C-alpha cells in the first residue's frame, strides 16, 4: 500500500532540503521514544524535525494501517459513506487522507491535535489537495473534547499509547458520545496495543455499540495470551525512509490492531482470517475468528468445492465473505 500521490508529493516537498544526518538522528530519537512507549510529559512530535522524521518513517505505515481498517469497516457496512469526520490526535492528517481516499465525498472534517508543529504540517499538506471543509483544532484529547460536535465517523489512530494509561476510558466514553454512526480506534499491533483495543471493545459493547470489524461477534474475545489479535500491511519504503533508518529492505510490514464499532449493526458478519494462511497442494489451513465467538484453525480441501476456492484466495485480515480487512 502506498500514500495517495498528492500526499506523497507534499511530503517529498517538505523533506526535500532536510540534511540526511539531521533526519537520521530525529528518526532515531522518535523511534526510541515510540519503542519505549515513553510518557514523560513531552509530545513525541513537539519539534519540526520530529514531524519530518514521522513523515519519512512512520506516516506511510500508519496510513496503511488506517486505510486497511477503514476498508474493513466499509466492507462490513457497504452502504456507509460518512459526510463528516472527527479525528483526534490527528498527527499530519493521516486519517483524513485515508478517509477521503475511500470516501471522496466527505464534506467536513475536524482534526484535534496537541502539537503545533504537526498541525502546521498537516494543514499545509491538506490545504493544497482537499475539497472538504477542514478545521484543525489545538487541544488535548484527555481534556478538550467538551465543545466538539458529533460526526458520522470518529477516529483515534495510534494515540492511546501516548496518553496516560488511566485516560482511555474517559476518552472513549466521550468519543462514543460524539459518534453519530461509527467509531474507529487503531493501535500498534503489539500485545500491549491489543490489550488497549480489547479494553476499548469491552467498553463500547457495554455502551451498546455493535462491533463492525475485525470481530464477527460481540462475544468476549476468544484469543488469549501469549497469542494476540493483530493484522499486518506491507508498506513500500521510500529511498529517504531507507536512508533515514539505514534499512536495506525496500518494504516493511506494519502490524496493527483496531476496533470499528457502530450504532448500526453490520448486515452480515463473516468469519475473519486471524493469521497468514498456511497452504499446501489442494488444501489451505485458516485460523478463523467465527461469528459464534470461537476461534481456531479450519482446514479447507478440494472436497469443499467453491468454499475451498474462496478460502484459497484469502489473506490475513480478510473475511470468509471474501472482503478484505
Ligand X SMILES: C[S@@+](CC[C@H](N)C(=O)[O-])C[C@H]1O[C@@H](n2cnc3c(N)ncnc32)[C@H](O)[C@@H]1O
The residues that touch ligand X, with contacts defined as CB under 6 A, are 43, 45, 62, 66, 89-91, 94-95, 113-115, 118, 140-142, 157-159, 162-163
Question: Would you state the cell numbers that stand for residue 159, as one nine-digit string?
Answer: 494515540
| Helices (H), ranges, 218-275 | 239-245
Which residues, at least 6 apart from 291, have a Cβ–Cβ distance to it below 8 Å? 216, 217, 269, 270, 271
Q: Would you say how long the chain is, in residues?
A: 325
CA-based R_g, the chain, Å: 20
Q: How far apart are CA 280 and CA 23, in angstroms?
A: 45
| Shortest reach from residue 66's CB to ligand X, in Å | 6
CB of 88 to ligand X, least distance (A): 6
In terms of CB distance, is 46 or 299 closer to ligand X?
46
HSE (side-chain half, CA atoms, 13 Å) at 79: 5
Q: Which of 114, 260 has the CB closer to ligand X?
A: 114
- State in angstroms the smallest separation of the CB of 304 from ligand X: 39
Beta carbon nearer to ligand X, 25 or 142: 142
Closest-CA residue to 74 (of 227, 246, 264): 264
Nearest approach, Cβ of 125 to ligand X (angstroms)? Answer: 12
CA-to-CA separations, 106 to 72, 85, 164, 178, 313, in angstroms, rounded: 18, 8, 32, 17, 32
- State in angstroms the smallest separation of the CB of 180 from ligand X: 20
Question: Least distance from C-beta 250 to ligand X, angstroms?
Answer: 21
Q: Beta partners for 184?
A: 155, 260
* Least CB distance to ligand X at residue 162 (A): 4
Nearer to ligand X, 58 or 287 (CB): 58
Nearer to ligand X, 53 or 141 (CB): 141
| CA 289, 293, 299, 305 torsion-angle sign | negative
Q: Which residues of 229-244 are buried (b: 16+ CB within 10 A; e: fewer)?
A: bbbbbebebbebbbeb
Q: Please identify, using beta-carbon distances, which residue of 45 and 240 lies nearer to ligand X.
A: 45
- Of 62 and 84, the one with the shorter C-beta distance to ligand X is 62
The residue of the chain with the least Cβ separation from ligand X equals 91
Amino acid at each position: 500500500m502506498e500514500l495517495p500521490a498528492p500526499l506523497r508529493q507534499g511530503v517529498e516537498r517538505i523533506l526535500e532540503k532536510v540534511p540526511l544526518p539531521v533526519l537520521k538522528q530525529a528518526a532515531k530519537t522518535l523511534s526510541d521514544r515510540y519503542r519505549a512507549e515513553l510518557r514523560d510529559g513531552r509530545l513525541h512530535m513537539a519539534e519540526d524535525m520530529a514531524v519530518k522524521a514521522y513523515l519519512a518513517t512512520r506516516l506511510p505505515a500508519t496510513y496503511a494501517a488506517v486505510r486497511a481498517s477503514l476498508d474493513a469497516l466499509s466492507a462490513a457496512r457497504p452502504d456507509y459513506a460518512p459526510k463528516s469526520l472527527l479525528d483526534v490526535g490527528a498527527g499530519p492528517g493521516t486519517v483524513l487522507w485515508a478517509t477521503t481516499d475511500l470516501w471522496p465525498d466527505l464534506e467536513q472534517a475536524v482534526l484535534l491535535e496537541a502539537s503545533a508543529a504537526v498541525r502546521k504540517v498537516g494543514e499545509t499538506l491538506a490545504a493544497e489537495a482537499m475539497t472538504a471543509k477542514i478545521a484543525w483544532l489545538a487541544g488535548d484529547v484527555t481534556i478538550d473534547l467538551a465543545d466538539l460536535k458529533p460526526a458520522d465517523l470518529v477516529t483515534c489512530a495510534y494515540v492511546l499509547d501516548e496518553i496516560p494509561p488511566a485516560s482511555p476510558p474517559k476518552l472513549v466514553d466521550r468519543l462514543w458520545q460524539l459518534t453519530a454512526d461509527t467509531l474507529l480506534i487503531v493501535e500498534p499491533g503489539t500485545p500491549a496495543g491489543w490489550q488497549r483495543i480489547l479494553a476499548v471493545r469491552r467498553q463500547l459493547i457495554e455502551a451498546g455499540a455493535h462491533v463492525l470489524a475485525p470481530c464477527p461477534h460481540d462475544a468476549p474475545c476468544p484469543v488469549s495470551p501469549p497469542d494476540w489479535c493483530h493484522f499486518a500491511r506491507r508498506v513500500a519504503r521510500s529511498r529517504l525512509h531507507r536512508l533515514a533508518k539505514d534499512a536495506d529492505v525496500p518494504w516493511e510490514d506494519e502490524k496493527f490492531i483496531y476496533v470499528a464499532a457502530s450504532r448500526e449493526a453490520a448486515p452480515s458478519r463473516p468469519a475473519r482470517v486471524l493469521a497468514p494462511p498456511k497452504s499446501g497442494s489442494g488444501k489451505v489451513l485458516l485460523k478463523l475468528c467465527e461469528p459464534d465467538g470461537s476461534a481456531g484453525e479450519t482446514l479447507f480441501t478440494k472436497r469443499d468445492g467453491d468454499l475451498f476456492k474462496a478460502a484459497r484466495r484469502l489473506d490475513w485480515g480478510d473475511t470468509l465473505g471474501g472482503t478484505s480487512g
